[in-house]
Amino acid sequence: MRIRTAIMTLFNVIALADGKVTEDEEKMIFDVLSTQFHISEQNLHSEFEKNLKQIQDNAPEMIKEAVFVLREECSAEEVKDVINLLKDLSLTDNNLDRREMMIIEMLEQLLATS
C-alpha cells in the first residue's frame, strides 16, 4: 500500500503541475494503478481524492516521502518503470515543467546511486 500511495503521489504531482488533473491524466493514473495493484475503482477514487488534498496541503513533503518509499521498497527495474510512466504522463499535455523534471531527475539519481 505504501508503494501504491507513493506512485499515486508522484503521478498526481505531475498531473497537477499545470494546475489541474485532466480527464486523460486521471484515466491514465487509474488504469495504471488499478492494473498494477488490483484495486477497485471506488477505493482508488477515494484514495485519489485524499491524495490530491494532501499534495495541495504539503507537496514537497509528499514528494520526499514518495521517493523515500520507492528507494526503500522497489527494485531498480521497478523504479525505471515508474520513471517511464511518469514521463508518459508528463507528456499528455505536451509540456514538461520544472516540477515534473525535478521529480524525474530525483528518481534517475536514485537509480544512479543504487
pLDDT at residue 93, rounded to an integer = 67
Which residue has cell 507513493? 6
The radius of gyration of the chain from alpha carbons, rounded to an integer in Å, stands at 13
The pTM for the full model equals 0.86
How far is CA 17 from each of CA 13, 101, 102, rounded to the nearest angstrom? 6, 11, 11
CATH of 2-112, one of 1.25.40.10, 1.10.3680.10, 3.40.50.10540, 1.25.40.20: 1.10.3680.10
- The residues of the chain scoring below 50 in pLDDT are none
Q: How many CA atoms lie less than 13 Å away from 64 in the CB half-sphere?
A: 4
Angle made by CA atoms 32, 85, 44, in degrees to the nearest 5: 30
Domain segments of the chain: what residues? 2-112
Say how far apart CA 59 and CA 79 lie, in whole Å.
20
Query: Amino acid letter at 60?
Result: P
pLDDT at residue 15, rounded to an integer = 87
